[in-house]
């Protein structure tokens, strides 16, 4: 939503908190079959994409989120060749995955094709991953698509919205069981898993069923100023490989990820550690 010249993130308004970005113009504002899509130009953070009133990305800080959701699993796996991205219609996770030369196939399963179109139009530096010939777009409900593929992916990245509306099924135990079944024998899945400051009970619940499903589970996080509480977390779910950082990365131009950040992102503050671990 917007209010008196500001873009206001609607996700936490009912709980008495929000973030607000000063907007200079409206670039897109329309509803699809699935959600309300808006794009604003802001004074400080560049263009911002909202889905159902919730900030998905800004040009200012999207790199932090996309680098951490992609490179942590891709560097933890010894030889990732096939990648499935669930959600991620903006193309950022595909862009980062394509930086790994050993990856041979990147499938992006996005329920709303309009998100892809808007991202290509307004966020070309994010959506540039779609130009890579290894990227295949699947326009489908990921909670249904994941039931079909058994054991085919080395890495699955779930770049989802919050657990409301189209994103709600992606936070259920049944979905994570399908993730497990869709991975190779040594596969890794990483999923967007909310804020440990604001959503600790949800994270605790997810940690509980993920430890039953996967031999290896951990929660990690990254800093990103335009998300609620200034950070976002991820579930690391693996059949065999722990979240071990590489000795060197061999990729130039990264702005957030490095081996030290990889390692330290799994170190949790005590209040979260005692609830999650």
Query: Is 44 in the same domain as 175?
Result: no
The reported pTM is 0.95
pLDDT given at position 201:
93
Query: Is 119 in the same domain as 213?
Result: yes
| Beta strand spans in the chain (E) | 2-3, 6-8, 20-31, 36-42, 47-51, 54-58, 82-87, 105-110, 135-139, 153-159, 183-192, 216-223, 231-238
C-alpha 170/C-alpha 124 separation (Å) is: 27
Query: Is 123 in the same domain as 51?
Result: no
Catalytic residue among 61, 90, 107, 159: 159
At 170, which CATH number?
3.40.50.150
The answer, yes or no, to whether residue 11 has pLDDT greater than 90, is no
159 among known catalytic residues: yes
Query: Is 137 in the same domain as 219?
Result: yes
Domain that holds residue 13: 2-55
Q: Which of 55, 72, 97 is the last residue of a domain?
A: 55
As for how many domains the chain has, the answer is: 2
Percent of the chain with pLDDT over 70: 95
Q: Which of 55, 80, 96 is the last residue of a domain?
A: 55
Query: Is 157 in the same domain as 219?
Result: yes
At 49, which CATH number?
2.30.140.10
The tens digit of pLDDT for each residue in 42-66 reads: 999 999 999 999 999 999 999 999 9
Query: Is 39 in the same domain as 79?
Result: no
> Within 13 A of 190's CA, how many CA atoms are on the CB side?
31
Query: Is 245 in the same domain as 191?
Result: yes
Indicate the average pLDDT of the chain.
Answer: 93
DSSP state of 13: G
């Amino acid at each position: 939503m917007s209010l008196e010249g500001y873009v206001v993130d609607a996700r936490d308004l009912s709980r008495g908190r929000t973030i607000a970005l000063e907007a200079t113009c409206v670039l897109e504002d329309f509803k699809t079959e699935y959600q309300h899509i808006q794009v604003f130009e802001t004074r400080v953070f560049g263009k911002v994409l909202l889905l159902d009133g919730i900030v998905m990305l800004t040009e200012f800080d999207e790199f932090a989120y996309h680098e951490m959701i992609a490179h942590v699993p891709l560097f933890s796996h010894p030889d990732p060749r096939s990648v499935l991205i669930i959600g991620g219609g903006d193309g950022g996770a595909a862009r980062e995955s394509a930086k790994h030369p050993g990856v041979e196939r990147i499938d992006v399963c996005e329920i709303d094709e309009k998100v892809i179109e808007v991202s290509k139009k307004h966020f070309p530096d994010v959506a540039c991953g779609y130009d890579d010939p290894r990227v295949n777009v699947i326009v489908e409900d990921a909670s249904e698509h994941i039931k079909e593929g058994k054991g085919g992916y080395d890495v699955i990245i779930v770049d989802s919205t919050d657990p409301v509306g189209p994103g709600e099924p992606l936070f259920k135990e049944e979905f994570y069981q399908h993730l497990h079944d869709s991975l190779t024998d040594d596969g890794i899945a990483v999923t967007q898993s909310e804020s440990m400051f604001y959503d600790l009970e949800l994270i605790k619940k997810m940690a509980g069923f993920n430890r039953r499903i996967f031999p290896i589970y951990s929660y990690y996080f990254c800093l990103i100023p335009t998300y609620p509480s200034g950070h976002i977390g991820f579930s690391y779910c693996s059949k065999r490989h722990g979240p071990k950082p590489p000795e060197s990365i061999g990729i130039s131009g990264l702005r957030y990820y490095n081996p030290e950040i990889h390692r330290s992102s799994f170190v949790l503050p005590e209040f979260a550690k005692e609830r999650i671990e």
